[in-house]
Amino acid sequence: MRPTLQVQVLLVLLSFVSSLLVAVVAGVLSHEAGAPVAGALLYGGGAFIGWMTLCVTVLTALGLLGQHSRTGE
C-alpha cells in the first residue's frame, strides 16, 4: 500500500526540517572553527543540500515517495 499524498507531503516536510537542523549545526560548527560568516553559510547550505538529497533518495528507494494512491480506490 502506497502512502497518500498527505503522508508524502509530511515526509518531505520532515526531511526539510531535519535538513534545516543539520544545516544550522554544520554552519555554526564551521563558524566556531574559524570560518568567516559567508563560508559558514556556504558550508551549511552544502550540508542542507546533501542531507535533503539523502532523505529524498532513501524515501524514494523505500517506495514512500513517488506515485501516490488516492483514497477510496
Is the pLDDT reported for residue 22 higher than 60? yes
Per-residue pLDDT averaged across 49-69, rounded?
90
The whole-angstrom separation of Cα 51 and Cα 36 is 22
pLDDT of residue 20: 98
Is the pLDDT reported for residue 72 higher than 60? no
CB atoms within 10 A of CB 15: 19
pLDDT of residue 31: 96
Per-residue pLDDT averaged across 50-72, rounded?
86
pTM: predicted TM-score of the whole model, two decimal places: 0.85
Task: Tell the burial category of 61 from Cβ atoms under 10 Å away from its Cβ (0-12, 13-18, 19+).
Answer: exposed
**Where residue 1 falls among pLDDT bands split at 50, 70, 90?**
confident
